[in-house]
């Protein structure tokens, strides 16, 4: 977590995780591996999010795009989330799982970026500063001029040492941008999720411009 008035403590303990969640290339796992992951009730956290995200992006990308086009916490987001859930029933993991929370949106944004825009020259992309939501404006501020670093961040495994190093590289920008918001602090997972969406939005706009 980082705050306006304090430096973040980004030293992350290394963790042992299934292959689905580790290292660059997690988005290239075959469909049968994704299906197997969704059936494993012991799977949780980032692994569950990524398995669901890959399944949803491959099966019904338009519902993913619709959700990611909404503002965080809006009524539109809730409606899009319900539609996404209904359209991707076969992608729902075994056991308890909900679509609420930044981690799901972030995982969907990462999956959309890697499956649609992985070859994009991110240094040529631009973010915008007129998003409706404060979280979106914060993310665009943090990603502005740092999209290559954001790309490196979302290639890391959540809560890994690599993620900690990638966040450290972005920390000066994160502190500068959170000072412009009403947020007193933000945890690393939320910052990653929001910046993943900022990168996805920039890549999507760049593809149609």
Per-residue model confidence (pLDDT) at position 5: 37
- Report which of residues 31 and 107 the model is more confident about: 107
Per-residue model confidence (pLDDT) at position 16: 29
How far apart are the C-alpha atoms of 95 and 57, rounded to whole Å?
A: 21
Please name the helix (run of DSSP H) or strand (run of DSSP E) that holds residue 185, with its range, or none.
strand 185-186
Residues in CB range of 52: below 8 A, 6 or more apart? 38, 88, 91, 92, 93, 97, 104, 107
Mean pLDDT value across the chain: 81
Condensed to tens digits (0 to 9), the pLDDT of residues 178-207 reads: 999 999 889 999 999 999 999 999 999 988
Q: Is residue 4 predicted with pLDDT exceeding 80?
A: no
Condensed to tens digits (0 to 9), the pLDDT of residues 9-18 reads: 232 222 223 3
pTM (two decimals):
0.82
Per-residue model confidence (pLDDT) at position 118: 92
Question: Token match 């890391």: residue?
Answer: 156
How much is the average pLDDT of 90-106? 72
By CB atoms closer than 10 A (0-12, 13-18, 19+), residue 71 is middle
Tell me how far CA of residue 80 lies from CA of 28, 71, 100, 114, 116, in angstroms. Answer: 26, 11, 12, 22, 21
- Report which of residues 174 and 12 the model is more confident about: 174
């Amino acid at each position: 977590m980082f705050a306006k008035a304090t430096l973040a403590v980004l030293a992350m303990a290394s963790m042992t995780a299934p292959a689905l969640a580790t290292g660059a290339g997690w988005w290239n796992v075959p469909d049968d591996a994704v299906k197997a992951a969704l059936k494993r009730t012991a799977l949780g956290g980032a692994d569950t999010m990524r398995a669901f995200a890959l399944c949803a992006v491959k099966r019904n990308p338009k519902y993913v795009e619709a959700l990611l086009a909404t503002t965080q916490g809006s009524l539109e987001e809730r409606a899009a989330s319900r539609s996404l859930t209904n359209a991707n029933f076969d992608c729902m993991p075994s056991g308890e799982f909900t679509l609420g929370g930044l981690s799901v949106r972030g995982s969907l944004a990462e999956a959309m970026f890697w499956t649609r825009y992985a070859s994009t020259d991110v240094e040529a992309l631009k973010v915008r500063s007129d998003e409706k939501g404060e979280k979106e404006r914060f993310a665009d501020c943090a990603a502005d001029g740092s999209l290559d670093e954001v790309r490196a961040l979302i290639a890391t495994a959540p809560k890994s040492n690599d993620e900690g190093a990638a966040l450290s590289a972005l920390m000066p920008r994160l502190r500068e941008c959170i000072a412009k918001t009403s947020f007193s602090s933000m945890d690393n997972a939320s910052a990653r999720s929001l910046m993943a969406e900022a990168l996805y939005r920039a890549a999507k706009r760049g593809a149609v411009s």
